Structures are given as C-alpha cells and as structure tokens.
C-alpha cells in the first residue's frame, strides 16, 4: 500500500513536470500520442506538434483551461474519457480547427457554462453524458450542427431526450446507453428528433416497454438496433413498428431483445408489423422463439426486400423446418442463419417425427416419402431461393431414425457458404444433391462411419471442404477408387482433421485435386508416416499434419518433400507439431533436414522429441549437438557391426566346416576309423 502511494506520488510529480512518457505512433497521415492512465494533471505539451490523435483517458485533468490544446492545431481526435474534468473554460478548445472527434464520457462535470464548442464547429463525433449535453446553452445550439455521430449515456429526465437534438441537423447515428432506471420509451421520448434526419438509432442497456408511437418522430430512420435488451416484450415492441409501414429500412436488430419474457410464438398478426416494412436485414437471433407462424411469412407484404434473415439460437421445433421450406418466398434473400447453440449449452432439437407432422411439411419433402419414422424415406427436398449466398444451418440436432436415400437442395445458384456442421443424420449413407454451385461447404461433425462414396459428388464447383471429426477414416476405408472426391475438381482447401485416418490414402484419393489443392489439413489423425506422395500435387502451399503419430520422416519422405518444393517454385509450409517424434540414431537425417530445408515448418522445426536415452528434448537441442549424437550413433553402430561381423564369421565358419565335412565325409570316415576307432578297437581287442 505504502509502496503504491509512493508510486502514485512519484507519478503525480512526474506528470507535473510533464515528462514525455507518452507512446507516439506515426502512421501515414496520422500521429497518435497516447498518454492514457498516467495520473496526469496537465495537458502534455511534448507530443509532436502535428499530433492528430491525443489519447488522455484515465487522467486527472480537473479544469480544462483556455487554449489548453492550442499547440496541437492538427488534432482530429481528442479522448478525455474519465479525466475528472470538472469544468471546461471558454476557448479551452480554441485553435483546434481540425477536431472532428471528442470523447467526454465519464467526467464529473455537471453543467456547461459557456458555448465551449463554438471553436470546434467542425466536430462530427461526440461522446458525452446526456445530462451534461442537455445543459448546453440554448442560444449556442448551432455549435452542434455539424455532428453526425453522437453517443450518450446516463439519465434522461422525464424519459425524453433533450431538445438540443433538434439543432443537430446532420445527425445520422445516435446511440444511447440506457440507464438502469429507464424502462419505457414514451410516445414523446424522441420528440426532439422530429425535424432532424436520424438514420440509425441504437439503444443498449435495459428497456421493458416501447409505447406505440415512440418511434413516430424518427421519420427517416433506416436502422433500429436494440440488441441485448433482453426484457422487452415481443408484442408491444413489434406493434410500435407500425410507424415504419411501407418504408425502406436497412436493418432491425432484435438480437436477444425478448429473451426474458415468455412470448415465444410470433403470430401472423404480429409478424405483419415487420412484413409491412421493406426491410433488408432482420435479426431475431437468441430470443427463445419457438414458432414463427407459417402464414406470417406467406402474407408478408415486402417479402422481396429481405436480404438477411437471422433466426439463429432460438428454440424452434418442427415448425422451423417449415420456415426453411418457406425461404424460397424471399426472392432476394442472400443470408440465412438458423444455426443453434454449441453442444452442451441449452439445445433444442428437431424432431423429425415424420408420422406426426407430415401435414406440416409443405414443399419441403415429397409427401409420398413421409410415411412413418421407422421407414427409410427415400428422398428429401429443400427448396432455397436462388439469391441465397450464405446458409448457416449448423448445430441443429436431428432426430431421425434412418437417413434417406438422398437430400436434394433445389434453387442454389451462387452459394458462397453452406454451413451445416453438426447437423447430421445417423449416417452418411445417402447423397446430397444440388450443390453444384456451392463454394464452401462445412459438414464437420457428420456421422460418416457409414458413407455412400458419392455423398457430396454433386459439389462439382466446391473450393473449400471442411469436414473434420466426421469418421472418414472408417467411412472411406473401402473407397479404393477415390470416388469420394472424384468429381470435386475445383477443391483448393480440404480440412480432414480428426477423422481417425490411420492408413495411407489410396493413390486415387486426390486424383482430381492434384492441380487445384492448395491447403490440406490432416491434423489430429493417426498417420504414422506421410499419407501420400506429396510430389503428386502441383500447387500445394500448406500441409497441416500436426498431432498425428509420426515418429520421424524417412529419407524417402524428406526427399519427396524436397522434390515437391523444387517443383512448386513457391513457398510450401508443413506443420508437424504435436507428433511423437523420436530423436534417435535412425531419425538423425530427419532432424538435420528440419533445420536445413527451405520448406517453411511450424516452430521453425523445433519440436519436442524423445531422445535415445529415454528423456524428452527438442529437435533443436539435438541438432545443436549433432556431432556428439552422431558419434554416439556411429559407436553404437560400430559395435553393432562388430557383433554382426563376429556372428557372421562364426556362422560362416560353422557352415564351412559342415560343408567341408560333408564333402570329405568318406575321407573323414576313413580317417576316423583308422585313427580313432581302430586304435580303440585294438585296445578293446587287447583287453579281450
Ligand atoms: C509529423 O512531423 C514529423 C516531423 O516533426 C514528420 O516526420 C512526420 O512525417 C509528420 N507526420 C505527419 C503525419 O504529418
Ligand atoms: C478512471 O481513471 C482512474 C485513474 O485516473 C482509474 O483508477 C479508474 O479505474 C478509471 N475508471 C474507469 C471506469 O476506467
Ligand atoms: C460545419 O462545417 C462546415 C464545413 O463542413 C463549415 O463551413 C461550418 O462552419 C461548420 N459549422 C459550424 C457551426 O461551425
Ligand atoms: C417532467 O414531467 C413533469 C410532468 O410530467 C413536468 O411537470 C416537468 O416539467 C417535466 N420536466 C422536464 C424537465 O421536462
Ligand atoms: C401513445 O400513443 C398511442 C397511439 O397514439 C396511444 O394509444 C397511447 O395512449 C399513447 N400513450 C400515452 C402514454 O400517451
Ligand atoms: C414425389 O415422388 C414421386 C416418386 O418418388 C414423384 O412421382 C412425384 O412427382 C414427387 N412429387 C413431388 C411433389 O415432388
Ligand atoms: C407406408 O409404409 C407402409 C408400411 O408401413 C407401406 O406399406 C406403404 O406402402 C408406405 N406408403 C407410402 C406412400 O410409401
Ligand atoms: C454458423 O453458426 C455457428 C453457430 O452460430 C457459428 O459457430 C459458425 O461460425 C457459423 N458459420 C459461419 C460460416 O459463419
Ligand atoms: C446403405 O444404403 C444402401 C442403399 O442405398 C443399403 O443397401 C445399405 O444396406 C446401406 N448400408 C448400411 C450399412 O446401412
Ligand atoms: C464451418 O467452417 C467455416 C469455414 O472454416 C467456419 O467459419 C465455420 O465457423 C464452421 N462452422 C462451425 C459451426 O464451426
Ligand atoms: C450411393 O447413392 C447412389 C445415389 O443415391 C446410389 O445409386 C448408390 O447405389 C449408393 N451406393 C451405395 C453403396 O449404397
Ligand atoms: C525450442 O523449443 C523449446 C521448447 O518449446 C524452447 O524452450 C526453446 O527455446 C526452443 N528453441 C528455439 C531455438 O526456438
């Protein structure tokens, strides 16, 4: 504590003498002088004269005196957030002819006594407490007429924004952080906005209710952003949108707006308040919505305006499918998101109970297929608008007894991203049709242990396939002909991470990608060596084979890599970290290669490895003491050779003896008889 106090004192002292410990960053066109959190009492005077951004947040400036910043005539941004400013003197901002952005948030100042903004009439961005702003002298409101962006926080007396707004003729964007005690937007909350042209209104914080006419004064509003308010009620919120009827709007963001109240069904009556707006982007994610009435969408007046619909992270049940089936009514829809939460969070599933809900399927499935849940349905149809570029249907848990023969998407014309990761059926023993115009497909976490080899054969123009954790090691076991990827001739990027691959790929596995493939991820599999000959690829840039089971690369493998590197004539990267490398006498060439190759390796080739003495070290350590290691190995191999030689010698000797013995067996016999046995016999005879 004592030490801290001394530190503070020291700091205060330093700032009094205006030390030059501010960070200065120069970029083309801007010079940033960063003096934040320094217990300063004075405005720093040592920043470069041409400083454009002066950051002073969290200091202790007290009163801003006249011409305090006069030195900095090039200043465009001034941040005095949380600077204990109690007053701003006349002409404090004098001479700051270029200032466009000012942050005054979190200062104890209560009241403007003068029109201090008079000298900075070019100001465009202002952050200030609403209470302080509302004390600006009325006779000088015109000082604020160039503001385009305003952020306020704090209390709003009587729940009505200050009349000073009426002078901000150029205000386009207004954001207010709602105070805890603000619960209702009244009919006259935005009264002061009646004759200005606000385009974007963003409210954050807490809000419970919106009166019907609250937004009436906002005559040209394009974007209404009220995310994360959580406590709003669906009914009165949507009803207050009636004022936007027949208007063109860019966005209504209702993310997690209704989270806490139990109105989880959007009826046709309610939805028409949205349907009557020509709205480009509607965000309804995270609202626990269970149902959007099918007719709600059918009866929307401006279906053609909608380009982005975000329904992610709600609680849809079977009716959600109906929503998908109605998507094609939105003829200009570009983005659709109905993804759910990550696993193990609150999760709602689709119950594909074909029997019970067959009448609801509408256009989605061929009715004749919808028989009962225990029967294999043969084909499944999903119609999408041809304008769709992004479809996120990931993380939806599907409960279907059996997979169908095929799932067919119709209408896809230029889909950039189709993300259905984790939205898997029981197996992949079917085909997905209609993906000819998809560029990026994410089907990770699919249960593909049983796999029809033509599963994604329709993706003839696919550039990126993300399919990690999908049991392909098992599923592709019998695909010796490489059918799985055969028709995907444009693939540049394949992610096959965590698929339990063990054995080498068939020679034909990537036959159609030899000219297209650039990035290949095989991370987290069980390969013990290079799963294919790299030299087959002509444009490879990155191979990620981290976390496999490779002990070391053999000379053949490193030679192949060198050959492909020479051939490619462009940088090649290989990621190898996380393999259980060994640094023993067999892998010495590999370790040397790691530090001599021009191929770009992760960790610069410095990986953990198991040393021959049983300890763990790094390849770099081993490389450093290569001479010693080589000596050790040559001695070991010397010894081994000696042992082998001796053994060999002994064997040859024995064999030689045997052969010689055999060849001269008769002589030997004679010899024996004569020299050994006979004398013995004669001995016997003698005894006898
Ligand atoms: C600011 O002034 C310094 C010299 O004092 C000069 O080197 C630098 O280029 C100037 N920066 C800008 C953005 O004008
Ligand atoms: C305000 O600045 C002081 C230092 O002057 C600091 O201790 C405090 O945490 C800051 N408060 C906020 C909300 O940033
Ligand atoms: C607003 O900016 C314009 C230039 O964009 C300038 O001519 C005018 O004086 C400014 N208004 C005020 C009140 O300073
Ligand atoms: C607040 O509203 C009350 C009555 O609703 C009114 O008497 C009072 O003048 C208002 N105050 C302000 C600052 O508008
Ligand atoms: C707000 O306006 C609506 C519609 O004009 C009206 O029904 C309601 O009574 C008004 N609320 C208040 C508090 O005046
Ligand atoms: C449903 O499938 C049958 C044959 O499987 C076909 O004859 C019929 O035209 C299909 N109906 C629709 C609406 O696609
Ligand atoms: C429905 O399933 C039954 C067997 O449960 C079968 O006999 C019948 O042909 C199926 N109907 C259709 C339309 O597929
Ligand atoms: C799809 O949604 C999931 C869950 O919200 C998210 O994690 C994922 O990044 C999204 N996919 C894309 C391509 O944006
Ligand atoms: C895969 O589907 C085919 C029909 O397309 C079927 O004959 C086969 O038994 C299925 N395989 C498995 C393992 O379910
Ligand atoms: C699917 O892959 C894309 C591209 O890598 C990624 O942005 C997205 O987050 C993935 N989806 C999920 C649900 O992880
Ligand atoms: C794979 O699907 C295709 C098309 O649906 C089908 O003709 C073929 O028989 C299936 N193959 C297997 C092995 O089930
Ligand atoms: C090699 O990796 C080890 C362990 O991560 C680290 O301690 C060491 O500094 C690295 N050496 C070099 C030269 O990067």
pLDDT, tens digit, 9 for 90 and up, residues 524-575: 999 999 998 888 899 999 999 999 999 999 999 999 999 999 988 889 999 9
Rounded CA-CA distance 290/303 in Å is 21
Taking alpha carbons only, the member of 317, 433, 431, 423 closest to residue 382 is 433
Tens digit of each residue's pLDDT (9 = 90 or more) over 647-656? 888 888 888 8
CA–CA distances in Å: residue 228 to residues 32, 156, 253, 286, 287: 34, 20, 9, 9, 10
What mean pLDDT do residues 163-181 have?
Answer: 91
Q: Express each pLDDT in 309-326 by its tens digit.
A: 999 988 876 545 666 778
pLDDT of residue 13: 45
Q: Which residue has the tokens 């109240």?
A: 261
pLDDT at residue 350 in the model: 37
Identify the CA nearest to 127 among candidates 149, 143, 159.
Answer: 149
Cβ atoms 121, 97 nearer than 8 A: no
> Which ligand sits nearest to residue 155's alpha carbon?
4
The helix/strand/coil state of 252 is strand
- The listed range with the strongest mean pLDDT (141-150, 310-319, 660-669) is 141-150
Q: Which of 130, 134, 158, 162 to mutate to test the pocket of ligand 4 (most atoms within 8 A of CB)?
A: 158
**Closest by Cα among 394, 487, 489, 481 to 446:** 394
Q: Is the pLDDT of residue 576 over 80?
A: yes
Q: What is the mean pLDDT of residues 131-137?
A: 94
Predicted local confidence at residue 458, as pLDDT: 94
Give me the sign of the Cα torsion angle 179, 184, 188, 193: positive
Question: From the CB of 332, is ligand 2 less than 6 Å away?
Answer: no
* Rounded mean pLDDT, 464-479: 94
* Ligand minimally distant from the alpha carbon of residue 417: 8
Q: Which residues pair with 610 in a beta bridge?
A: 582, 616
Structure token digits, residue 23: 């960070």
Helical residues (DSSP H) of 206-275, grouped into ranges: 234-239, 268-275
Give yes or no for residue 684 having a pLDDT over 60. no
Q: Can you give the C-alpha Rg of the chain in angstroms?
A: 39
1-10, 228-237, 624-633: segment of lowest average pLDDT: 1-10
Give the number of whichever ligand sits closest to the CA of residue 161.
4
pLDDT band at 362 (very low <50, low <70, confident <90, very high): very low
Comparing 265 with 335, the larger pLDDT belongs to: 335
Q: Which of 99-113, 348-362, 576-590 has the lowest mean pLDDT?
A: 348-362
Predicted pLDDT at 346: 36
Closest residue (by CA) to atom 12 of ligand 4? 158
The pLDDT mean for the chain works out to: 85
Residue 190, token pair as written in the block: 């935005």
Query: Can you tell me which residue has the tokens 């330093």?
Result: 14
- Six token digits for residue 274: 């949205």
pLDDT, average across residues 103-130:
93
Ligand 11 atom having least distance to the Cα of 430 = 2
**Nearest C-alpha neighbor of 144 from the set 166, 121, 175:** 121
Q: State residue 3's pLDDT score.
A: 54
Distance CA 507, CA 584 (A): 31
Pairing of strands 308-310, 278-283: parallel
According to the model, what pLDDT value does residue 62 have? 92
Residue 464 CA to ligand 10 center (angstroms) comes to 11
Q: What is the mean pLDDT of residues 398-402?
A: 67
Q: Which pair of tokens denotes residue 407? A: 């799932």
Looking at the chain, the whole-number percentage of residues with pLDDT higher than 70 is: 87
Mean pLDDT of 609-617: 92
**From the alpha carbon of 378, which atom of ligand 6 is closest?**
5
* Of 252, 246, 357, 355, the residue nearest 302 (C-alpha): 246
* Helices of type H across 569-625: 588-596, 619-624
Helix (H, G, I), strand (E, B) or coil at 467: coil
The top-scoring range by mean pLDDT among 156-165, 215-224, 475-484 is 215-224
Q: Residue 468: pLDDT band by 50, 70, 90 thresholds?
A: very high
Burial zone of 5 (CB within 10 Å; 0-12 exposed, 13-18 middle, 19+ buried): exposed
pLDDT greater than 50 at residue 17: no
pLDDT of residue 167: 94
Q: Indicate the pLDDT class of residue 401, thresholds 50, 70 and 90.
A: low
Rounded to 5 degrees, φ, ψ at 263 are -105, 85
CA distance 288 to 320: 12
Residue 366 reports pLDDT greater than 50: no
Q: Is 417 in the pocket of ligand 8 (CB under 6 A)?
A: yes
Q: Is 158 in the pocket of ligand 4 (CB under 6 A)?
A: yes
Partnered with residue 410 across adjacent β-strands are 383
pLDDT value for 140: 92
Task: State CA 200 to chain mean position distance.
Answer: 28
Q: What is the band of 373 on the pLDDT scale with cuts at 50, 70, 90?
A: very low
Q: Which residue has the higher pLDDT, 399 or 558?
A: 558
In sequence order, the 6+-apart residues with CB closer than 8 A to the CB of 604 are none
* Least confidently predicted of 502-516, 620-634, 671-685: 671-685
CB 352 within 8 Å of CB 398: yes
DSSP-assigned letter for residue 425: -
pLDDT for residue 34: 94
User: Which one has a higher pLDDT value, 444 or 395?
Assistant: 444
Measure the CA–CA gap between 475 and 572, rounded to whole angstroms.
30
CA of 378 to the centre of ligand 7 (A): 12
pLDDT at 605 over 60: yes
Q: Determine the Cα–Cα distance for residues 10 and 253; give it in Å rounded to an integer.
A: 49
Beta carbons within 8 Å of 478's beta carbon, 6+ residues apart: none
In this prediction, residue 380 carries a pLDDT of: 78
Q: Give me the pLDDT at residue 681, please.
A: 57
Query: For 294-323, what is the mean pLDDT?
Result: 82
User: Is residue 523 helix, strand or coil?
Assistant: coil
C-alpha to C-alpha distance for 252 and 206, rounded to whole angstroms = 18
């Amino acid at each position: 504590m004592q030490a801290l106090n001394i530190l503070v004192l020291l700091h205060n002292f330093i700032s009094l003498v205006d030390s030059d410990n501010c960070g200065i960053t120069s970029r083309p066109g801007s010079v940033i002088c960063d003096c934040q959190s320094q217990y300063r009492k004075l405005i720093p005077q040592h920043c470069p004269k041409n400083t454009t951004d002066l950051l002073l947040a969290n200091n202790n400036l007290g009163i801003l005196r006249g011409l305090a910043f006069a030195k900095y005539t090039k200043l465009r941004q001034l941040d005095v957030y949380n600077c204990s400013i109690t007053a701003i003197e006349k002409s404090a901002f004098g001479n700051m002819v270029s200032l466009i952005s000012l942050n005054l948030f979190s200062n104890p100042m209560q009241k403007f006594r003068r029109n201090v903004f008079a000298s900075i009439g070019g100001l465009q961005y202002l952050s200030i407490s609403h209470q302080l702003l509302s004390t600006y002298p009325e006779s000088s409101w015109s000082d604020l007429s160039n503001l385009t962006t305003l952020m306020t926080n704090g209390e709003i007396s009587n729940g009505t924004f200050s009349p000073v707004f009426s002078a901000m003729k150029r205000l386009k964007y207004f954001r207010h952080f709602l105070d805890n005690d603000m619960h209702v937007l009244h009919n006259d909350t935005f009264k002061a906005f009646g004759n200005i042209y606000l385009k974007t209104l963003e409210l954050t914080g807490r809000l419970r209710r919106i009166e019907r006419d609250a937004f009436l004064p906002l005559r040209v509003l394009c974007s209404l952003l009220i995310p994360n308010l959580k406590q709003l009620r669906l009914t009165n919120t949507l009803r207050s949108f009636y004022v936007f009827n027949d208007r063109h709007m860019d966005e209504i963001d209702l993310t997690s707006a209704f989270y806490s109240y139990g109105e989880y069904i959007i009826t046709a009556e309610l939805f028409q308040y949205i349907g009557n707006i020509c709205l480009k982007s509607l965000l309804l994610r995270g609202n626990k919505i269970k149902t959007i009435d099918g007719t709600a969408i059918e009866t929307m007046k401006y279906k053609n305006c909608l380009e982005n619909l975000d329904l992610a992270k709600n609680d849809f049940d079977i009716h959600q499918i109906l929503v998908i089936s109605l998507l094609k009514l939105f003829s200009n829809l570009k983005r659709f998101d109905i993804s759910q939460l990550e696993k193990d969070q609150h999760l709602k599933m689709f119950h594909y109970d074909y029997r019970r809900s067959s009448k609801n399927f509408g256009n989605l499935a061929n009715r004749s297929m919808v028989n009962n849940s225990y029967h294999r349905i043969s084909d499944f149809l999903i119609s999408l608008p041809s304008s769709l570029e992004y479809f996120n249907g990931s993380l939806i848990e599907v409960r279907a007894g059996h997979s169908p023969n095929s799932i067919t998407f119709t209408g896809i014309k230029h889909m950039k991203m189709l993300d259905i990761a984790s939205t898997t059926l029981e197996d992949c023993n079917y085909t997905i049709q209609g993906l000819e115009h998809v560029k990026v497909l994410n089907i990770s976490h699919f249960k593909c242990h049983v796999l029809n080899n033509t599963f994604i054969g329709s993706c003839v123009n696919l550039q990126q396939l993300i399919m990690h954790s999908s049991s392909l090691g098992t599923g592709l076991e019998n695909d010796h002909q490489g059918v799985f990827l055969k028709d995907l001739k444009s693939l540049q990027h394949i992610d096959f991470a965590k698929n339990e691959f063990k054995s080498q790929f068939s020679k034909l596995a990537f036959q159609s990608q030899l000219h297209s493939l650039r990035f290949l991820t095989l991370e987290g599999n069980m390969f013990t060596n290079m799963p294919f000959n790299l030299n087959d690829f002509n444009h490879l840039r990155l191979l990620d084979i981290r976390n496999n089971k490779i002990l070391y690369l053999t000379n053949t493998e490193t030679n192949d890599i060198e050959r492909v590197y020479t051939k490619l004539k462009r940088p090649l990267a290989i990621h190898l970290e996380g393999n259980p490398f060994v640094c023993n006498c067999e892998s010495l060439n590999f370790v040397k290669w790691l530090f001599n190759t021009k191929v770009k390796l992760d960790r610069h080739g410095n990986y953990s490895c198991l040393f021959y003495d049983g300890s763990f070290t790094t390849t770099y350590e081993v490389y450093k003491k290569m001479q010693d290691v080589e000596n050790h190995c040559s001695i070991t191999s010397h010894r081994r050779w000696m042992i082998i030689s001796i053994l060999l010698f002994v064997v040859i000797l024995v064999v030689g003896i045997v052969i010689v013995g055999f060849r001269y067996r008769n002589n030997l016999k004679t010899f024996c008889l004569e020299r050994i046995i006979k004398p013995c016999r004669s001995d016997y005879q003698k005894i006898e």
